[in-house]
Amino acid sequence: MNNNLQKILSQSLIMLFYEVTYNFDYNKARRNRFVQIEENNCTIILDPDVAKFFQSSESVNNILRAIIDSMPKNEFKQIVKQR
């Protein structure tokens, strides 16, 4: 048997195997009950040059909280109202 025919047969068998064995029904799927999802979370994507300074979301939050605490209260209220 030549190599091309062997490759075609082996690829066909692999595809058939996946079709037969990996036929999942996701109709009964449930969300991961172990994940705690908070309502007010949001995702922010940092540029790579900024992200290299932070190892976790906690460190980003700590810096942002420090910046918010250092802002004058009336300036912070104006920023929040603009949203």
* pLDDT 10s digits, 24-79: 677 888 877 777 777 777 788 889 999 898 888 899 999 999 988 888 877 666 66
Q: What pLDDT score was predicted for residue 39? A: 74
Whole-number pLDDT of residue 1: 55
Q: How confident is the model at residue 15 (pLDDT cuts 50, 70, 90)?
A: confident
Q: How many CB atoms lie within 10 A of CB 60?
A: 16
Are 50 and 60 contacting, i.e. CB atoms less than 8 angstroms apart?
no
Query: Where exactly are the structural domains of the chain?
Result: 3-82
Quote the CA–CA distance of 79 and 69 in Å, as a whole number. 14
Q: What's residue 79's pLDDT? A: 65
Hey, what are 34's tokens?
């172990």
Our CA angle for 14, 20, 22, nearest 5°, is 90
Q: What is the pLDDT of residue 19?
A: 61
